[in-house]
Amino acid sequence: MRIHPGKDDLEELTAAWTGERFGSGRPRVPDDVLASLRLATTEEAWGHLFQAGYVRQFAGGWRETHPGTVIVGRAVTAQFLPHRPDFDGVVVAAGAREGHLEGDRQNSWVIETLEDGDVMVVDIFGKIVEGTVVGDNLGTAVASRTGVGAVIDGGIRDLQGLSQLPGGVNIFHRDVDPTPIRGVTLAGINIPVRIGGATVLPGDVILGTPTGVAVIPAHLAAAVAASSEDTRVRDVFGKQRLSERRYTSAQIDVPTWADDIESDFQQWREEQNA
């Protein structure tokens, strides 16, 4: 057994991605694409993904350590299962072979792998009591390593401390409890996991907004960024033309504009970029 899949395994798992990769084999969506996606809304991202056939890419119903703070980053996934002694023994042995210290809690193994721009995505089957993946100490480690945060389908503790993490960081979670994490075993890092109704692969781009968490496959991230930018620009144009009373709402608030409005938009866009 391996805690971390091999490079070849990750490349096979994420074969749709043809761009740059980390040394581990995880997709590395470019920083400029991440920056563009920080301006996207959940609805813009979801709309493009839905049209592309990815219809289960959203999970809602979260609490946040920093409500309203949008996060965007590359997923590092992890899954925990209910503790079973024989399986846990196998995991501890595998972790030792891969350089993890037996005395360290297995949730810290995940944090050790994080890099700048990552989002730690943890499936701990919605466990709250004794399912607290991070408190203020490990949360500080996540924040310092990633500059982004985490999505935890389970619990956290020390909310008062976590809420004081620096700006730009946010941890999406299901609920808060004072108990420490226990009664679980790490099943793997950078493996497919389920968050709500969405499947997350390592290297997917996580877009966390007040609406919820959108999971953008790495190979679609650039297209989603471009599509959301186009939507934002069209929205500015449409509102301007409505305020000028050039067009009616019935003409603007449609999926596809008439040819004369589209031509007007393209000319307007060229003028804005001049």
The response to whether 238 counts as a known ligand-binding position is no
Phi, psi of 73 (to 5 degrees): -170, 175
Please, which residues bridge with residue 176 across strands?
156
10 Å CB burial of residue 200 (0-12, 13-18, 19+) is buried
The response to whether 136 counts as a known ligand-binding position is yes
**The tokens of 155 are what?**
């619990």
Which distant-in-sequence residues (6+ apart) come within 8 Å of 104 by Cβ?
Answer: none
The response to whether 137 counts as a known ligand-binding position is yes
Residue 77 vs residues 53, 108, 228, 259: alpha-carbon distances, Å: 23, 13, 25, 45
Residue 10 vs residues 2, 83, 225: alpha-carbon distances, Å: 12, 26, 24
The response to whether 138 counts as a known ligand-binding position is yes
CA 74 – CA 14 distance, rounded (Å): 13
Annotated binding site: 135-138, 157-158
Binding site, annotated residues for Mg(2+): 158
Residues annotated in the binding site for substrate, as ranges? Answer: 135-138, 157
